[in-house]
Amino acid sequence: MKTDVLIVGAGVAGLYCALKLPKHKKIMIITKSDLESSDSMLAQGGICMLKDESDYDSYFEDTMKAGHYENDPKSVEIMIRTSPDIIEDLVSYGVRFARNLDGSLDFTREGAHSQKRILYHKDVTGKEITTHLLDKTLQKENVTFYEHTEMVDLICQDNTCYGAVLRMQDGSFEKVEADNVVLATGGIGGIYEHSTNFRSLTGDSLAIAIRHHIALEHANYIQIHPTTFYTDKEEDRSFLISESVRGEGALLYDKHMHRFTNELLPRDRLSEAIHKQMEKDGTPFVWEDLRPIGEVTLQRHFPNIVEHCEKMGYDVFSEPIPVVPAQHYFMGGIQVDHEGRTSMKQLYAAGETACNGVHGKNRLASNSLLESLVWARRAATLIALGAEIKKDPALIEETSFEPYQDMAQWKEENITLVKEEIKRENNGRTPAIAYRKMAEPLSKAV
């Protein structure tokens, strides 16, 4: 197989990159799952935008403060300055954001934002954006999609990328020769026992990067959400019980139905308090009581949460629900520069799998969709400029499928590599949140 650009991943980063590449480039987009199963489809809260110059300093400061000032200030500046243009582009694709009666954009606010600067579409902003990007991309004649097609490895030599090895839907292997490869494979939640991410997102690009000495950054910067609905079904993704529920008065209880913490602590400290309580009680969850919010507000503000709990057998109007902290977002990733270039030539990365320094140690709410779009577009712009491409057909020819014959083992090794990198960056300390047990072959998760 041959293409100009291979994009690995069909979330907002992969799709927007494809849309921003010129028509004459032949593009191949692969996704290991189906087109609906990306975290981009799950984003609830919204997407940030610099609404006017007067908010610049405050938006910048909120992002830096949330990131413990470990952010790359230049990256933060790029993201904020580009945001109005990105939003204009999304609106031109038909994305509908909530508006005021006079037609102007309506902005909302989330934790750690000192101003209202978040655009939203009900509580399904990610789906609204991703669906429109997908529709547009599907219309492009120069783009071919391959669902249930997995990047297994990169084909590279002397720090230059020439393509990738793919496992196709029927289980066969293919080599694809590409002038440029863009990694847009999302987060790592699939390796954790509890995560809000799709189970299939197992940090594959990171493992492959480690195998080929491609630089990573801050692999231990992992955001944990303190309250997700507890389920003992391993295959289930954790459902978010939004922070605003606690903001509206929901309380947390131990196994004796007694409060044990301040529910409005920052995410990391609250997760710690919940983990401690679970350990003390010997339980896999704590209780969250939504009744103090009141029936009217619950129905009006949180219909999805009410509905999900009901589906899981809990009536939030009459009883508490079980909640547990879960892995939510990956701030670290494959190191990229301000244009989305990795440390390997002809290889780019964008979205949650990349680390461009925007988020520092902790992501500010609703910055990730924006950051993914900004860097996807920057990578596309640079690829379009068409730097001189090195090709190596002989290397493609020589590449053997032998190392991938035992896929379950290959994937298990991948996950071990990612976990070891996280531990190494964490100075040998074990992570705050448990990994998924690997008793079943990992291929089951894909």
Ligand X SMILES: Cc1cc2nc3c(=O)[nH]c(=O)nc-3n(C[C@H](O)[C@H](O)[C@H](O)COP(=O)(O)OP(=O)(O)OC[C@H]3O[C@@H](n4cnc5c(N)ncnc54)[C@H](O)[C@@H]3O)c2cc1C
Dist CA 387 CA 442 (whole Å)? 38
Inter-residue contact 124 to 307 (CB < 8 Å): no
Q: Is 183 exposed, middle or buried (0-12, 13-18, 19+ CB in 10 A)?
A: buried
| Residue 267 a catalytic site member | yes
Name the β-bridge partners of 206: none
Minimum distance from CB of 259 to ligand X (Å)?
26
Inter-residue contact 335 to 216 (CB < 8 Å): yes
Inter-residue contact 31 to 151 (CB < 8 Å): no
Name the β-bridge partners of 229: 239, 323
Minimum distance from CB of 39 to ligand X (Å)?
3
Minimum distance from CB of 202 to ligand X (Å)?
7
Query: Of 45, 50, 199, 35, nearest to 130 (Cα)?
Result: 35
| DSSP summary character for residue 26 | -
Dihedral pair phi/psi, residue 439, rounded to 5°: -65, -40
Minimum distance from CB of 83 to ligand X (Å)?
11
Dist CA 428 CA 416 (whole Å)? 14
Strands 173-183 and 347-349: parallel
300: Cβ contacts below 8 Å, ≥ 6 apart: none
Dihedral pair phi/psi, residue 54, rounded to 5°: -65, -15
Inter-residue contact 205 to 192 (CB < 8 Å): no
Toward ligand X, which CB reaches closer, 176 or 369? 369
Query: Of 135, 117, 138, nearest to 127 (Cα)?
Result: 135
Dist CA 47 CA 41 (whole Å)? 13
Minimum distance from CB of 332 to ligand X (Å)?
13
Toward ligand X, which CB reaches closer, 149 or 277? 149
Toward ligand X, which CB reaches closer, 11 or 325? 11
Binding site for ligand X (CB under 6 A): 8-14, 30-33, 37-40, 42-47, 125-126, 150-151, 184-187, 196-197, 200-201, 204, 240, 329, 351-352, 366-369, 372
Toward ligand X, which CB reaches closer, 183 or 251? 183
The 3-state DSSP class for residue 52 equals: coil
Minimum distance from CB of 289 to ligand X (Å)?
22
Toward ligand X, which CB reaches closer, 320 or 333? 333
Toward ligand X, which CB reaches closer, 277 or 353? 353
Toward ligand X, which CB reaches closer, 197 or 277? 197
Minimum distance from CB of 214 to ligand X (Å)?
15
Write out the two tokens for 316.
């939030």
Dist CA 241 CA 230 (whole Å)? 10
- Kind and range of the H or E element at 226? strand 222-229
Minimum distance from CB of 318 to ligand X (Å)?
26
Name the β-bridge partners of 347: 181
Name the β-bridge partners of 59: none
Toward ligand X, which CB reaches closer, 122 or 276? 122
Tell me which of 117, 267, 377, 436 is the catalytic residue.
267
Annotated catalytic sites, by residue?
267
